[in-house]
Amino acid sequence: MNHPAPTTTPVLRLTGVTLRLGRDQQQVTALDEVDLAVAPGEFVAVIGPSGSGKSSLLAVGGGLQSPTRGAVHVAGVDLTTLKEHQRTAHRRRHIGYVFQQANLFTSLTAREQLLLTAHVAGRLDAATRRRADDLLEAVGMTARAGHRPDRLSGGERQRVGIARALVLAPEVLLVDEPTSALDRARARDIVDLLAERTRLHRTATVMVTHDHEILDAADRVLTLRDGRLS
């Protein structure tokens, strides 16, 4: 199903994307002919029941998983045409990803998590260091910036993961359940931050969530059910 096209050239576009998982009689269609276009500065929320394909949508859109068929364009490049190392390099340059589980490095402090992301991308400069500190302050983690993940709560780890995804001001931001470990007040602050950074940096943001109380931050709300986007 097609959805209203952005008024500017999309930085993220999925065209006819189908993803089948499993084999033979056990095969499941996680995504079914999905079309989606997200423009710079646009915040799109995707809702739907558990098992509807929301995490698969982010994985395919972020180049973490290849679709069975269809095209996935990020910053003008079809990820499905790239070799794995090329896809990884393109993802590092253009995509920020907030995982449902923060996936932090156990040996690094909260601040070091952000700086490592910049270092790997070859963008660890004074401006990025300042942005890292600003983001840690924005997510309420300045006082905990020197702590490693085993000294942080689940909600604190999630906030560090969000700051890490934003530190390079990516062209595309993919966000998986950003408020699942947060209380109501903190959830609102985090979603407002995502919306603010989306507009400030002209990022194309897709957020999947079960939390209907934060949907007002999005420009569009789409529903994914049985692999179909509507």
- Token digits for 194? 């995502």
pLDDT tens-place string over residues 188-228? 999 999 999 999 999 999 999 988 989 999 999 999 998 89
Torsion sign, CA atoms 47, 51, 52, 54? positive
Structurally, how many domains does the chain consist of?
1
∠ CA 90-209-22 to the nearest 5 degrees? Answer: 65
Rounded Cα–Cα distance for residues 101 and 129 (Å): 24
Residue 77 is assigned to a structural domain of this protein: yes
CATH number of residue 53's parent domain: 3.40.50.300
What's the pLDDT band for 7 if we cut at 50, 70, 90? Answer: low
DSSP, res 180 = T
Chain centroid to CA 77: 18
Sheet holding 77-78, edge to edge: 28-38, 12-21, 69-74, 77-78
Q: Are 194 and 204 in contact (CB under 8 A)?
A: no
Instruction: Pick the closest to residue 202 from 95, 19, 3, 42 (CA basis).
Output: 42
For residue 44, being part of any structural domain is answered with yes
Residue 2 lies in a domain: no
Domain hosting residue 35, numbered range:
12-229
Distance CA 212, CA 228 (A): 19
d(CA 56, CA 157): 23
| Residue 30 falls inside a structural domain | yes
User: Residue 92 in 3-state DSSP?
Assistant: helix
User: Is residue 4, in this structure, part of any structural domain at all?
Assistant: no
pTM: 0.89
Per-residue pLDDT reduced to its tens digit, 107-125: 999 999 999 999 998 899 9
Tell me the pLDDT tens digit for each residue of 144-177. Answer: 999 999 999 999 999 999 999 999 999 999 999 9
Please indicate, yes or no, if residue 3 is contained in any of the structural domains. no
Neighbours of 193 (CB within 10 A): 19
Look at residue 158 in the predicted model and tell me its pLDDT: 92
Residue 104 lies in a domain: yes
- Give the CA count within 13 Å in the CB-facing half-sphere of 158: 18
Decide if 6 is inside a domain.
no
